[in-house]
Amino acid sequence: MLINADRLKNTFFEIVKYDTGSNPETETTPSTAKQLELAKVLVKKLQKLGLQNVELNQYGIVSGTLPARQGTDIKIGFIAHMDTSPDVATGPVNPQEQKYLKGDIFLKNGITIKAEDLKAFAGHTILTSDGTTLLGADDKAGVAEILEMLSVLQENKQLSYPELKIAFTPDEEVGRGTENFDIQAFGADLAYTVDGSAPIDIDTETFNAFNPQITITGVTVHTGYAYHKMVSAIEIANQFINALPKDETPAETKEKEGYFHVLGISGSPEKVKIDMLVRDFNYQKARKRIAFLHSICEDLERRWPQVQIEMKDNEKYHNMNEKFASFPEMIDLTRQALEMSGLKPKETYVRGGTDGAELTLRGLLTPNLGAGGENFHSLNEFVSLETMVKCTENLLNIIQIWQKNAPKLKDKIKAASPCR
């Protein structure tokens, strides 16, 4: 194949060195200014790779267009996120590589990558941090693979391809990756996020997600005169939480089971805010969960008429699979592309969301592809270079398969596209 593994590794090592941890606490956009340092580097790289209209916009999103080379009439988007998870120490990464044969891999500070996590990688070149920080293969492996794909297209003049739209986004890890993403301006007919794990995976299902917020306003009186007058919002919040089913939490559910999760609770006897996550693969069931929460609120209001309870549903994203039903060729062709890479593709579901799920809900069909990383969001995160090469091959094959098949799917593409 035409992929240059050394160049791919060097690009990856270069970009992981930038600390791009995002931050759920701030209200700035992007959530941390340090993400912009990498964004500026990526602008230069895209320009060098022949992209046009490359820009870093006010929201910290990097985007650009690779004009078609004898291309067919479709515009394909590829998206990866630049930020890394704030769950563990980010920081300037000191990346390491080693030929893996067997056993555990030991990093600094007693951080160990277990042999059982490495079973599939004997003989591979394993890339890690030194153990003091997150590696950030989630999602800089995706960023590096997209850049390598562009390098391959640039240097192999015999390859033809349709117009490609590239975007690198901030703040995915704090759930804000797409809040300022302008689908119309991006201009793709369909897109892929490159932010999953194994190269055989095509993530086509996610949860349906609501982030409800419940605000309880109690009745406060001086504690000395509170007899039969005070109704503490904290006490009502306690009753609310106790009314939730104990076996439907993230800790008690798996596979395709949904849940309720109390994410945060803050306040005083006067006012309490409860932040929740409600998740279910089935949309009707997700709606039922929301109705159930409303019924708890109504019940408490009946019992405590002096108390005010307000609930906002905050619908976040939908299971993508509903949307793919209208254009099943998209998944079929993606499968074929992965088969061209010698893989046995597998449609998978994510017990979470992807940026693609939000984009899909807003009209841009965006399944998620593997970028190769393992042990996400932990100090023992790692990625195999050979796997990254395979993921890049997938991207190139996806371009080829659309280049070949777009003419006969013209009408379907037009119908599926958010910008035609």
Q: How far is the CB of 325 from Zn ion (least distance, A)?
A: 25
Least gap, CB of 152 to Zn ion (angstroms)? 23
What letter represents residue 227's amino acid?
Answer: Y
- Measured from the CB atom, the residue of 138 and 358 that comes closer to Zn ion is 138
Active site residue 83: yes
Nearest residue (CB) to Zn ion, 71 versus 370: 370
Closest approach, Cβ 259 to Zn ion, in A, equals: 21
Work out how close the CB of 373 gets to Zn ion at its nearest, in angstroms, rounded to a whole number.
8
* Active site annotation includes 172: yes
Q: Which residues bind Zn ion (CB under 5 A)?
A: 138-139, 195
Strand 125-128 vs strand 112-113: parallel, antiparallel, or unpaired? unpaired
Interatomic CA distance for residues 406 and 189, integer angstroms: 11
Residue pair 53/65 in contact (Cβ under 8 Å)? The answer is yes
- Cα 88 from Cα 140, distance rounded (Å): 16
Record the tokens describing residue 212, joined without a space: 């409800």
Q: What six digits make up the tokens of 267?
A: 């306040």
Bridge partner list, 199: none
Looking at 22-136, list the stretches that DSSP marks H as alpha helix, in order from N- to C-terminal side: 35-48
Is 143 or 309 the residue whose CB approaches Zn ion more closely?
143
Gyration radius of the chain's alpha carbons: 24
Given phi > 0 = left and psi -120 to 50 = alpha, else beta, which region is 172? alpha
Q: How far is the CB of 28 from Zn ion (least distance, A)?
A: 21
Residue (of 309, 289, 293, 290) closest to 235 by Cα position? 309
Q: Is 108 helix (H, G, I), strand (E, B) or coil?
A: helix
Q: Choose between 83 and 163: whose C-beta lies nearer to Zn ion.
A: 83
Query: Taking the complex as a whole, how short is the minimal distance between the CB of residue 79 and Zn ion, in angstroms?
Result: 11
- Select which of 83, 173, 280, 358 is catalytic: 83
Q: Closest Cα to residue 128, out of 307, 383, 338?
A: 383
CB 377 within 8 A of CB 90: no
Which among 262, 296, 300, 299 is positioned nearest to 279, based on CA atoms? 262
Of residues 292 and 349, the one with the C-beta less far from Zn ion: 349
- Please say whether the beta carbons of 357 and 206 come within 8 A: yes
Out of 19, 139, 145, 172, pick the active-site residue.
172
Q: Helix (H) and strand (E) counts for the chain?
A: 11, 19
At 197, list the tokens.
Answer: 């794990």
* Of 71 and 367, CB closest to Zn ion: 367
Instruction: Output phi, psi for 105, to 5 deg.
Output: -105, 130
CA distance 36 to 30: 8
- Of 139 and 374, nearer to Zn ion (C-beta) is 139
Distance in Å, CB of 80 to Zn ion, minimum: 8
Catalytic residues: 83, 172
